[in-house]
Structure 1
Amino acid sequence: MEKFINNYTNSLINLLNQIDQKSIVKIVESLEYTLQKSSKIYIIGNGGSAATASHMANDLDVGLKLREIRNFNVESLSDNPSVCTAIANDIGYENIFYAQIKNKINKDDLLIAISCSGNSPNILKAVKYAKQKGSTIISMTGFDGGELKNLSDIKFHVQTDKGEYGLVEDIHMILDHIIFSYYISLKPNSKSNYTME
């Protein structure tokens, strides 16, 4: 067990050392752009990535609003099980995100798509639609990035062997906390806790 723990933590450290800092700067610039345009940030993901999407929405929306730091308009499209299961049941799981942004997302909006493989059909369908509308696409991917990485305007990629979900999801969550902590640092004397928990 100790050997496994050392291998895992060392792998995580190596991945952290490879983070593309410029991509994080671009993500923050894109977030700021939504304030200029009074536009919206949509976040999508499946499984563990749905949890990351929810956590990001919490941090960037309520977490920053309550501290009077930023007033982002953020929605995680995985968060309403009634909506997701109705769409999945009626017209197919590949439509759960696409149907929520259809005739709603616009060119000034931001779509953050989280997928370890980068090949989830429901993620790709929503991303392709958003691109047609001129929206900016930010991807958070792992493994080889899949199709999602190629479709994105801003790519936060964690290069790993296929199937390394834990490591990729760890780094994705750390990205959220880097961005959230950056915003917290902008306000002197603000509490630096990372979530609203």
Structure 2
Amino acid sequence: MKDFIQSEFFSHIDTAQSTLKLLVDDISKACDIMIKALKAGNKIMVCGNGGSAADSQHFAAELSGRYKLNREAISCVALSTDTSAITAIGNDFGFEFIFSRQVEALAKYGDVLLAISTSGNSANIIKAVNVAKSKGCSVVGLSGKGGGELNACCDLNIVIPSSNTPRIQEMHLIIEHTICDILERELA
């Protein structure tokens, strides 16, 4: 058991080092995109499925509440939180539309969509990205496993260099926390 625990931690550390070496510029670009939108009075929308839905909610909560600093709320909406909308849209249109219909309703020109998909191929995330783009939003993706379809439709897709779902999700969380910290300091 101890060997397994150690191997998990070493796997995390290896993935973190690879991510940092490859993606520090992309993470910085994502921050720039979001800062520009927020300073112009726009908002960030976030979507993801499963653990990525939880990350979406976590990210939005850190911005609308606080991450480390007491400051004005930062406009961020997690599209995974309105169970009435999700279930109505899923029932009436299909699960693949649960985020795109919300983007259609909420997005304004200049907003940002943060689209989180471990595989980069989630149909409901891709549909949300396409609607966001059609409404003049910037789109930042967080993915892994080569980036999938998000590579072709995002303005910037931050692709974790791993095929291991838990490692990808762990890197997404540290990237999300880093973005929260930077946005908070830039906008406080």
| TM-score, normalised by the number of residues in structure 1 | 0.86
Letter in 1 for 2:15: L
- Aligned runs of 1:108-187 on 2, under 5 Å? 108-161=110-163, 164-183=164-183
Q: Is the 8 A contact 2:31 2:182 kept in 1?
A: no
Aligned CA-pair RMSD? 2.2
Q: Is the 8 A contact 1:119 1:148 kept in 2?
A: yes
CA gap of 1:114–1:29, structure 2 versus 1, over 3 A, is: same
Q: Secondary structure at 1:137's aligned position in 2?
A: strand
1:31-90 CA-to-partner distances (Å, cap 9, x unmatched) read 21122321111000000000000000011221159711x542100000111111111011
> Greater CA deviation, 173-182 or 41-50?
173-182
Q: 1:45 aligns with which of 43, 48, 53?
A: 48
1:2 aligned residue:
2
Structure 1, unmatched stretches of 5+, are 189-197
Q: 2:61 aligns with which of 51, 58, 61?
A: 58
How far apart in 2 are the matches of 1:59 and 1:186? 15
Letter in 1 for 2:94: G
1:75-108 CA-to-partner distances (Å, cap 9, x unmatched) read 0000111111111011110110011111542330
Count of residues in Structure 1 that have an aligned counterpart in Structure 2: 185
Letter in 2 for 1:7: S
Q: Is the 8 A contact 1:145 1:159 kept in 2?
A: no
1:192 aligned residue:
none
Q: In the alignment, is residue 75 of structure 1 matched against residue 82 of structure 2?
A: no
1:119-160 CA-to-partner distances (Å, cap 9, x unmatched) read 111000110111122211100001121101221112211121
How far apart in 2 are the matches of 1:51 and 1:178? 17
| TM-score, normalised by the number of residues in structure 2 | 0.89
CA gap of 1:47–1:132, structure 2 versus 1, over 3 A, is: same
- Aligned identity (percent) is 34
How far apart in 1 are the matches of 2:162 and 2:133? 27
Task: Flag the structure with higher helix content.
Answer: 2
> Greater CA deviation, 96-105 or 37-46?
96-105
How far apart in 1 are the matches of 2:180 and 2:111? 20
